[in-house]
Structure 1
Amino acid sequence: MNSKKTPVYEALNLFFYYYLKKRDIEKTLSMVTDDIYSLGTGNGEIALNKIQFRDLITSEINTLPISIDYRILNYREKERDKNLWDCICNVEVIVNIEDDKHVIYFTRLTGSFENKEGKILASVLHMSEASIHQDDNEFFPLKYVSENISKLDNASQHELLEIILEMMPGGIIGGYYQKNYPLYIVNDKYLNLTGYETYEEFLDDINGEIINTIHPNDIDFVNKIVDESLKVSNQYELEYRLRKKDNSYIWVYDIGRKIYTAEGKEVILSVVIDISEKVLLNKRLQKEASEDVLTGLYNRKYGIDLIKKELKSGTKYAFMIMDIDNFKALNDIYGHSEGDSILQFIAIHLKNTFRTNSIILRLGGDEFIIFLNKFLDENIIRIKLDNINQKYNMEINKKYIESKSSISFGVVIGDKDIEFDDLYEMADKLLYEMKRNNKGTYKILNI
């Protein structure tokens, strides 16, 4: 439906009235739910609840406190469920500079609203940059609309540019599309993001070339993505590590577009947004999904998946299952905290003994798997296993002698195509043959 007199439309209109026209933080917050999700509002950051949303709009309003005019255009809504609505529209934002001079900024809004105890509140707000007047693939959504805009003096044009740059989400930087991207333009947000106080300081530190802001290990990747993207369109987007003044690095999302100067030179203008928290969160989630909490080794599922992939490579491998003998006795005599300590002790020595590209995982309880692709010579494997056994026995004799604990291995060496379950069964039989007849040692089978 497209009526502009619905309760949802009125709630949206009131939200923008408080947010843009009145710049009233508390009244703006009164129009959203406690669990509001917001993307792209203000500085283009993300809010996952009302507290984060308050911080986001407070920062924006403090930066630009002036009253801003707006119009809601092309409004549509639909009822998704009882007391739940989705809507979409364009929002025309007008920033007045002088009596006859202004800038118009177009965004696209998608939102969800709920009826909370008789009051309609926004629960999701996603504002994306999309001009209703833009050409195909146009990136920047700002338009000069004053009829006399071309007649503005240099000071007024500079002021307009400053407002535009401040309204863009994230820092803005531009470089000539040449080797090492010689610097063309940079705004204050970018300087603040990277810790610089002045343009001159930044220019001197990077030796006038944007390439010097990028982590050395990411430079080839950035060059490749930019070049390949600009062969098929005038825009690119990527993520990389950006150097700050103090030589630390942050992860950024960079979306850029190729334009031409009045002299016909190619320039890349890009918006750079700090995504370090997002990257760290993803890394932490990835780590939690793959790591055994107690030992820091791979967990069962992730480790087995890695081994299955390696088994398809067709190279020679060594597959080892390790089990702690008399582990229950150690727990019963010395306590489970000491049992955990011995598991951590083993994990440390397994990682120190085998090379970093080995796959070492805690299978569960007191069982471990070590998988070597392109494995070392069998005699070297024997030396390493003897070394692990020796260190373990020394630790047991020093701290847990009454447990009479030891460690046993079942080892399969081969190069033929085999399923993980079949390989595991072979090694497991070897292991328990050792545990029955000769604890504290290992048996190796070549297949």
Structure 2
Amino acid sequence: MTQTAKPKVVLGVSGGIAAYKACELLRRLTESGHDVQVVPTASALHFVGEATWSALSGKPAATEVWENVHEVPHVRIGRSADLVIVAPATADMLAKAALGLADDLLTNTLLTATCPVVFAPAMHTEMWEHPATQTNVAILRSRGAIVIEPAVGRLTGVDTGKGRLPEPEEIFEVARRVLARGASGLAQDLIGRRIVISAGGTREPLDPVRYLGNRSTGKQGFALARTALARGAQVTLVAANTDLPVPAGADVVRVGTALQLREAMVKAAADADAVVMAAAVADFRPAVYRAGKIKKKDGQEPDPVRLTRNPDILAEISAERAREGQVVVGFAAETDDVLANGRAKLARKRCDLLVVNEVGEKKTFGSADNEAVVLGADGSETPVPYGPKESLADTVWDLVATRLQRGPEADTPAQNGR
């Protein structure tokens, strides 16, 4: 793919009720400048007709191995693609892909594709959780494919559970990040890795209507989740008081307070390869929670609010690593003496990496951009210039991936006495 050429994307659609959602994914891909070839299965055409796919993509949908045989479509389509997305990917399609079956144009395309392949599963919960499906997913991931975890929500009929197709805009974000990685020639270096990320800001209740909080929106943590997913990781996102769209494939745990966040993070970190504490966690909480609203009294000053310390989650996870070789990353939001305070915090927290940035009323919080310096326990400093939060996230994952590849023998604070 040249710099001026449109990225070539194959959108495979298999036969599930969620096929209608792929129309929105197709629209986002085409409107953002991608050259999209839709390859629906025969079953998919029962849900959305060929005319719809052709109209939305601007080119005829490819449906049969035997059409335009002289162009050898079962080989050409996969070979020429920069990315293949299968959305929805049914249990049947995952099984065929894992076994290497090739009984239609889409499965032939999957066998000939040399580019990254993303599967967005959609099926009933029982089908997703069946050992056969889980084995097929593990096989595909072991071969380098990205299999997005399905969302939890309404399925067909009255059923709800895990198996819902992630929202099209979030699948699009995964596709966009995978294409960006492919353009840079970098591999999906987090495939098979379990990542835990905290995001957002905790709120510590004073009474039923008031709380102590901060300005964090969770954008940086969600950017970390999206970029990790695009690099093949399995992501658990512990989200504190955010209203951002759930990244496609992330398992989201909703929390409110620092104590709730600590419980969720410690539990999720038990089998994680890397833990990233990007949430803005309150250092203190009110010592007393008032069951009734605190009233304003005429002529009287309010009673002082006594505070008590919250647990230091980053320091706890760093000191008590759940598994050998686990990489722990912290964030430090500073308003002055940024690097000096960051180095002191790195030594105190004993994490492997610390992302240090300057914050303020109009800096970082709520912004789509960020700049930072990533400090390493090995003495390294990696500056990240002002730019999209996804760029900072990818720098963090570059550094994490390097440490994971080194294995447990890599220098960590616990090993080198820092």
Q: Same fold (TM over 0.5)?
A: no
Task: Indicate the structure with greater helix content.
Answer: 1
Q: TM-score range by the shorter chain?
A: under 0.3
Higher relative contact order (CA 8 A, sep 6+): 2
TM-score by length of 1: 0.25
TM-score by length of 2: 0.26
Task: Indicate the structure with greater strand content.
Answer: 1
Which structure is larger by alpha-carbon Rg, 1 or 2?
Answer: 1
